[in-house]
């Protein structure tokens, strides 16, 4: 039989909502999630896990308390656990996150931008 690969662009075409990560695959207890973002997110941290950002389209800036990192298409960055960070995108960014199942986008911070952590697309 022919199995189906998961195409990132096809998955991105299925949703428009910003700051609402969608799960596209699982590997053991880790998940691959797609997100579209624009503007400022909230400062937050994930006390128990690193979090991987991989940019597919656009330019992402992640601010830290002691600096910043800029990611373009094809760039990857791992935010270490416990490090406060704030993603920012001047215009829309399409990105993939890799992190353990159940990680909430706003970490311990909560607030209006908190999304359901386990929505598949």
Binding site for a second copy (CB under 8 A): 1-9, 24-28, 30, 32, 49-52, 56, 64, 66-72, 74-78, 81, 98-100
Minimum gap (Å) between residue 112 Cβ and a second copy: 27
- Closest by CA to 68, choosing from 52, 53, 88, is 88
Minimum gap (Å) between residue 99 Cβ and a second copy: 8
Distances (CA, A) of 118 to 51, 88, 100: 16, 23, 11
Count the Cβ atoms, other than its own, within 10 Å of residue 95.
Answer: 26
By C-beta, is 68 or 110 nearer to a second copy?
68
Minimum gap (Å) between residue 1 Cβ and a second copy: 4
């Amino acid at each position: 039989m022919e199995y189906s690969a998961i195409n990132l662009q096809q998955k991105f075409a299925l949703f428009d909502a910003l700051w609402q990560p969608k799960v596209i695959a699982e590997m053991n207890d880790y998940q691959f999630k797609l997100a579209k973002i624009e503007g400022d997110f909230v400062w937050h941290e994930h006390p128990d896990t690193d979090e991987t950002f991989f940019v597919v389209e656009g330019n992402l800036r992640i601010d830290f308390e002691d600096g910043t990192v800029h990611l373009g298409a094809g760039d990857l960055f791992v935010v270490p656990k416990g490090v406060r960070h704030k993603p920012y995108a001047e215009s829309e960014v399409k990105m993939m996150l890799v992190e353990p199942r159940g990680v909430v986008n706003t970490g311990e911070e909560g607030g209006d931008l908190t999304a359901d952590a386990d929505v598949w697309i």
